[in-house]
């Protein structure tokens, strides 16, 4: 017995709406987390932690991040250097990861440590459009 064309049309539209909703949900999923610095974190909420890698980050970060223990480092608030949070991260580490580099990791606070989700680390490069003069703009040639 053949389906009436009106029923097939409704079924096709319904399927398209469901698939479109699923696509929107999965593509926006990462954008739904709130960006936060170390001063703004609360337990039980997923955040994108944004701050600077504190001095003392391990030189073998990529190796540690792939180990069972994970990579442990500290993120410092960009506006208040006295505010910091320990981070536990596992996964790939960008080549630019180092002391003083701005990073973003997604995760949540657990027992005083920000536990990042696997493979969510992004390092941000310093802006070449900064308001602060660099050696190059002050007349000293870059080395």
Length of the chain: 143
In the block, which residue shows the tokens 């320990």? Answer: 86
What are the tens digits of pLDDT across the range 56-99? 999 999 999 999 999 999 999 988 889 999 999 999 999 999 99
What does the pLDDT average to over 116-134? 75
What are the tens digits of pLDDT across the range 39-51? 787 787 888 999 9
State whether 91 and 68 are in the same domain.
Answer: yes
Give pLDDT, residue 22.
80
Determine which of 4-8, 27-31, 59-63 has the lowest per-residue pLDDT on average: 27-31
Give pLDDT, residue 15.
92
Could you tell me the residue range of the domain that residue 97 belongs to?
34-124
Cα angle: 60, vertex 116, 32; to 5 degrees: 140
Neighbours of 127 (CB within 10 A): 9
The answer as to whether 136 is a domain residue is no
Look at the pTM and tell me if it is higher than 0.75: no
Give the long-range contacts of residues 114-118, CB within 8 A, separation 24 or more: 114/41, 114/47, 114/49, 114/75, 114/85, 114/86, 114/87, 114/88, 115/87, 115/88, 116/49, 116/87, 116/88, 116/89, 116/90, 116/91, 118/90, 118/91
Q: How many domains does the chain have?
A: 2
The answer as to whether 112 is a domain residue is yes
State whether 51 and 110 are in the same domain.
Answer: yes
State whether 3 and 19 are in the same domain.
Answer: yes
What does the pLDDT average to over 114-122? 94
Band of residue 137 on the pLDDT scale cut at 50, 70, 90:
very low
Residue of higher predicted confidence among 21 and 119: 119
């Amino acid at each position: 017995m053949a389906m009436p064309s009106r029923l097939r049309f409704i079924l096709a539209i319904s399927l398209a709406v469901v698939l479109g909703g699923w696509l929107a949900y999965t593509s926006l999923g990462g954008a739904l987390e709130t960006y936060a610095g170390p001063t703004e974190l609360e337990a039980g909420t997923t955040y994108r932690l944004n701050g600077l890698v504190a001095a003392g980050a391990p030189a073998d970060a990529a190796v540690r991040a792939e180990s069972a223990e994970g990579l442990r480092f500290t993120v410092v608030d960009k506006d208040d250097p006295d505010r910091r949070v320990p981070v536990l991260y596992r996964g790939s580490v960008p080549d630019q990861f180092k002391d003083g580099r701005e990073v973003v990791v997604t995760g949540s606070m657990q027992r005083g440590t920000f536990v990042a989700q696997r493979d969510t680390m992004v390092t941000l490069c310093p802006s070449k459009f900064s308001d602060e003069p660099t050696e190059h703009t002050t007349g000293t040639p870059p080395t």
